[in-house]
Structure formats: structure tokens, C-alpha cells
Copies of this chain bind each other. A is one copy, B any other.
Amino acid sequence: MDRTRLALNQYTVKPWSLREAIDGCIRHGIPSIAPWRDKLAAHGIAAAARDLRAAGLRVSSLCRGGFFPAPSAGERQARIDDNRRALDEAAAIGAPVLVLVPGPAEGASLAGARAMIADGIAALLPHAQACNVRLAIEPLHPMMIAERSVITSLGEANDLCASFASPHVGVIADVYHIFWDYRVEAEIARAGTTIAGFHLSDWRTPSGDLTSNRAMIGDGCIEIAGLARAVLAAGFTGDIEIEILNAALWAGDQELTLRTAVERYTALSA
């Protein structure tokens, strides 16, 4: 696949600081990066903006906002306020996209939680427009429904996205979260240019913590090349993120992880 569109999602090498991740991108010829907010805070927002620019890196997205459902109106407002700060941070570092992990039900019904997510995005949208940052709804694998996201399929994310009909709302197509769906290619086509991010890892049946068991590209059963063709055919023109959240890899050699991921990405034909 096209190396000029490659982006490193920073949690692929989670033990690294933002400085180390920037240096890793430079060493491996990766032209784009997706920082996470905790790493950004540790580095300082202004310093991050300066250092990313100095390194000549594009920013593909900022990870992450979202987590809208909460038991009380006050807590829901606090989440929205925090998402506004995330939009400010995205704008400051030149990220065109804020990834939204929608959040679990937190005691609400699924329908209630889904309504809170729609309300949260609606409340954020004016600030997203003002910042010129796109809110990107990421559907997560259904196994994460009780802990991360009640939005569990690309079809559902597409419906929610379509309800806003705004250039500042889009969806994330992460192969790990959506590949199992027999309608995935149809939903990718339907998403079209609302696709605001395309994330790569691979699937092996997880054991233990379900959130950090993603496989290295090529080590699992996801038909990545076919999904990539579908996403490109849909009109997605952004950078393509390697995002491999894997606790075993985090415990290992980050340089090896990064080298392997870049090799596997490069070998994909799409």
C-alpha cells in the first residue's frame, strides 16, 4: 500500500512518548501520526504542535474523545466539556479529525445510551465547526459493548452520521471492529466520503483483556486488502493508520513492532 499515506497511531507503540514516536516516524519514513491525548498532555500542547511541524509530520487524527453516556446530566455535560477541550487540542496540533469512542451504556438502556451519544455529538458540533475539526464516530467491535461502545457496527455509525448531514461529522472504518459484518463492503460504500479514518490491525480471537489483543497486520484473518480497496473506492483520501493495541507487543521491542508493521503495511496490495 501507498507509503505516502501511512500514519502511525501512537498507541501501536504505547510505551513511547510523543517525542519517541515522532522520532520513530522519522526513522521509518512514516509521514503522518495520530497522537493520543495522554501523550499530548505529557508533552505539552504547544510544544507538540511545534515539534510535529518541525518534524514535517502530518497529523491524521487525535485519539480520542467520546464516552458520552453518563448517569447524570452534570456528568454528561462534563464529558461534553472535555470533548470541547479535545477539539481545541486537535485544532492546535493540526489534526483534521477527533476520533470519538462513543462509550458504554453506564447503566442506561442501550436505546438511552445511543440517544445520549447523538445528543453529545449535537452539542459538540458547533465547536467542531468553529475549530474546523471533524468528529469521527468509531463503531467498536460488539464484544466491547459493555465497556467501550454501544455503537457496534458501521451500519449503525453510518445511520448516526447521516442524521447530522454535516461535513464535520464522519465515521472511522477500523478493520478490527467491522470486518466480521457480512454487509461491511456495502456499508463502506454507503459511508463514502464520510469516512474520516481508516485503521489497520488484524484479528486473532482475543483472550484476556479484549481491548489490547489486536494482532499485527498479516498475523490474523482479516481480509485487509479487500477492505482497503473498498475504502479507497468509497473516496477516502486521508492517511491510513496502523493502530495495533496489543499488550504483549507493548511489553516487547517497540522498534521491532514499528518495523514489522511498516513492512506488513507496505506488502499489502490494495
C-alpha spacing A153/B142, complex, angstroms: 11
| A143-B205 contact given A105-B221, A110-B223, A223-B109, CB 8 Å threshold | yes
0/1 interface trace, chain A 206-227, chain B, CB 8 Å (1 if under): 1111100000000011010000
The residues of B that contact A207 with a CB separation of less than 8 Å are 207-210
> Is there a chain B Cβ closer than 8 Å to A50's Cβ?
no
User: Who on chain B is nearest to A148 by CB?
Assistant: B205
Closest Cβ of chain B: how far from A185's Cβ, in Å?
10
> Is there a chain B Cβ closer than 8 Å to A268's Cβ?
no
The residues of B that contact A142 with a CB separation of less than 8 Å are 141-143, 180-181
CB of A143 within 8 A of CB of B206, answer: yes
- Which of A141, A183, A203, A205 has most B Cβ within 10 Å? A205
> Is there a chain B Cβ closer than 8 Å to A204's Cβ?
yes
The residues of B that contact A110 with a CB separation of less than 8 Å are 179, 182, 223
User: Who on chain B is nearest to A107 by CB?
Assistant: B221
CB of A205 within 8 A of CB of B153, answer: no
The residues of B that contact A31 with a CB separation of less than 8 Å are none
**A147: contacting residue among B109, B152, B155, B205, CB under 8 A:** B205
> Is there a chain B Cβ closer than 8 Å to A114's Cβ?
yes
CB of B145 within 8 A of CB of A180, answer: yes
> Is there a chain B Cβ closer than 8 Å to A75's Cβ?
no
- Which of A109, A110, A144, A203 has most B Cβ within 10 Å? A110
CB of A181 within 8 A of CB of B152, answer: yes
CB of B183 within 8 A of CB of A146, answer: no
Closest Cβ of chain B: how far from A101's Cβ, in Å?
15
Q: List 20 A-B contacts (CB under 8 A).
A: A109-B223, A114-B182, A141-B142, A141-B143, A142-B143, A143-B206, A145-B180, A145-B203, A146-B203, A146-B205, A152-B180, A153-B153, A155-B183, A156-B182, A156-B183, A159-B182, A205-B210, A206-B210, A207-B207, A207-B210
Show the binding face of A for B, using Cβ within 8 Å.
105, 109-110, 114, 141-147, 151-153, 155-156, 159, 179-183, 203-210, 220-221, 223
